[in-house]
Amino acid sequence: GAVVSQHPSWVICKSGTSVKIECRSLDFQATTMFWYRQFPKQSLMLMATSNEGSKATYEQGVEKDKFLINHASLTLSTLTVTSAHPEDSSFYICSSWTGRTEAFFGQGTRLTVV
Residue numbers at the binding site for another protein (CB under 8 A): 6, 32, 34, 42-46, 49, 57, 91, 93, 95, 97, 100-108, 110
User: Least CB distance from residue 105 to another protein, whole Å?
Assistant: 4
The residue (of 66 and 108) whose beta carbon lies closer to another protein is 108
Looking at the Cβ atoms of 82 and 107, the one nearer to another protein is: 107
Residue 88's SS3 state is: helix
Q: Residue 103 Cβ, how far from another protein at the closest point, in Å?
A: 6
| Residue 38 CB burial class (10 angstroms; 0-12, 13-18, ≥19) | middle
Which of 32/70 has CB closer to another protein? 32
Residue closer to another protein by CB (options 28, 105) is 105
Asked if residue 94 lies in contact with residue 4, where contact means CB atoms within 8 angstroms, the answer is: yes
Torsion of CA 2, 67, 56, 6, to 10 degrees: -10
What's the min distance (Å) between Cβ of 24 and another protein?
14
CB of 94 to another protein, least distance (A): 9
d(CA 101, CA 96): 11
Determine phi and psi for 88, rounding to 5 degrees: -85, -5
